[in-house]
């Protein structure tokens, strides 16, 4: 089957997570993605271990799990962009590229004449996406940022975690680098929109992606709760601030998540719990009333759930079409029969280990397929072939090596 972006070439100057995540998505969609890395060191995340991929003898390689999770399907070339000859290589690659991804500090690439204004002089149709913590403008634009910092500054940690007065209370970050990942996903959306527009206008585009902008945009219902009432949302543990009952409940042998989303589902819940009288109780008849009387409702539900096991309630509630499920570990999630059926975990051939596991991009198309036949590249694995394709001779490539440009 065809790959949707097989006609697209991406020059990925980014490193760590947000930019590489976008680059991997584009590669999965079939684009040719050339990852530019520092000679000798490469992407910072190559060293972010353990764990490291083990070679065929069981010894640790220099390929960290962090790096392997976000660089599938790319080609790797090493180039020192601080050197004029290195800048020439990037410009030569940019001439026939469709997309450039970068996440350098604001102004850095301008010093090397590799910023958008410089590149569009040689490729006016380029779609150039810059990802930074705070964007290209504003009083914080030159500050450094990481996902953890943005989760704190953007309000996410203020509504994540148990209430201060409860055991373990206090602000918590999300257990994955969620803002990096969603910023990369938003970058991909912006890039694809720019590609669609270019088909009509013939014009390229510059995309300024800010992690803080993304985080604030994700505040969603919590932001609206504040804007409409003037009241600052607080941490509420696992309880949903607007819909109830949605929380974690203790069973006799573990915990279950309940995610009732409307009054009809609440009625089904009451029937399954043999608490049908609650359906007619004016305190709980509508969602607004359940929110108002949550403490009383919570006490009644706690008494019901503790009487039986997690598996008992999961099966019974699912049969009653009440949204619920167990709190799975990562291992349990990856081995869930539904995930296995959807082939979300696959193995790709790798020159060091023989095989490397990969978690797939969740695209499923009817008339196309994702391209997942190339493992994350070794550092500089494709340098020689890429330079040869640019027309450089063996002697010229050797000179670049001698001068530590590649």
Active site residues: 180
Q: CA-to-CA distance for 74 and 399, rounded, in angstroms?
A: 25
- How many CB atoms are located within 10 Å of the residue 318 CB? 13
- How many CB atoms are located within 10 Å of the residue 243 CB? 15
Q: CA-to-CA distance for 143 and 148, rounded, in angstroms?
A: 14
Structure-token pair, residue 231: 């009241």
130 phi and psi angles, rounded to 5 deg:
-105, 130
Is-contact 209 104, C-beta < 8 A?
no
Q: CA-to-CA distance for 278 and 287, rounded, in angstroms?
A: 13
Q: CA-to-CA distance for 35 and 190, rounded, in angstroms?
A: 20
Is-contact 85 387, C-beta < 8 A?
no
Structure-token pair, residue 156: 């996410």
Is-contact 239 247, C-beta < 8 A?
yes
Number of H helices, E strands in the chain: 17, 13
Cα end-to-end span (Å), the chain? 36
- How many CB atoms are located within 10 Å of the residue 394 CB? 10
Is-contact 179 154, C-beta < 8 A?
yes
User: If you write DSSP's letter for every residue of 163-206 in order, what string do you get?
Assistant: -TTSTT-S----SS-HHHHHHHHHHHHHHHHHHHHHHHH---EE
Is-contact 125 195, C-beta < 8 A?
no
Structure-token pair, residue 363: 């695209």
Structure-token pair, residue 11: 């020059």
């Amino acid at each position: 089957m065809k790959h949707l972006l097989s006609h697209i070439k991406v020059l990925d100057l980014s490193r760590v997570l947000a930019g590489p995540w976008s680059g991997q998505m584009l590669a999965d969609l079939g684009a040719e993605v050339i990852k530019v890395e520092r000679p000798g060191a490469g992407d910072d995340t190559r060293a972010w271990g353990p764990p490291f991929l083990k070679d065929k003898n069981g010894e640790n390689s220099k390929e960290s799990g962090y790096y392997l999770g976000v660089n599938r399907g790319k080609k790797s070339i090493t180039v020192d962009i601080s050197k004029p000859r290195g800048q020439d290589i990037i410009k030569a690659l940019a001439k026939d590229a469709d997309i450039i991804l970068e996440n350098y500090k604001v102004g850095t690439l301008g010093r090397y004449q590799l910023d958008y204004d410089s590149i569009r002089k040689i490729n006016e149709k380029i779609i150039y996406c810059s990802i930074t913590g705070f964007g290209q403008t504003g009083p914080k634009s030159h500050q450094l940022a990481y996902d953890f910092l943005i989760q704190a500054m953007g309000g996410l940690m203020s509504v994540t975690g148990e209430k201060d007065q409860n055991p373990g209370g206090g602000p918590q970050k999300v257990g994955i680098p969620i803002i990096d990942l969603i910023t990369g996903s938003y970058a991909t959306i912006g890039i694809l929109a720019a590609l669609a527009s270019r088909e009509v206008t013939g014009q390229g585009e510059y995309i300024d992606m800010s992690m803080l902008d993304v985080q604030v945009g994700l505040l969603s219902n919590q932001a609206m709760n504040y804007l409409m009432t003037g009241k600052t949302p607080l941490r509420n543990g696992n309880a949903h601030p607007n819909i109830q009952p949605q929380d974690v409940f203790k069973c006799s042998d573990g915990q279950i998540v309940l995610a009732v989303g409307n009054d009809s589902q609440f009625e089904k819940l009451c029937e399954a719990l043999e608490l049908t009288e609650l359906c007619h109780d004016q305190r709980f008849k509508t969602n607004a009333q359940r929110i108002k009387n949550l403490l009383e409702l919570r006490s009644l539900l706690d008494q019901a759930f503790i009487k039986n096991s997690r598996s008992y309630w999961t099966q019974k509630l699912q049969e009653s079409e009440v949204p619920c499920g167990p709190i799975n570990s990562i291992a349990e999630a990856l081995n869930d029969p539904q995930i296995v059926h959807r082939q979300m975990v696959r193995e790709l051939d790798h020159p060091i280990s023989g095989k490397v596991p990969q978690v797939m991009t969740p695209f499923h198309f009817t008339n196309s397929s994702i391209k997942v036949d190339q493992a994350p590249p070794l550092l500089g694995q494709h340098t020689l072939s890429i330079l040869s394709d640019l027309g450089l001779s063996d002697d010229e490539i050797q000179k670049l090596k001698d001068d530590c440009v590649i």
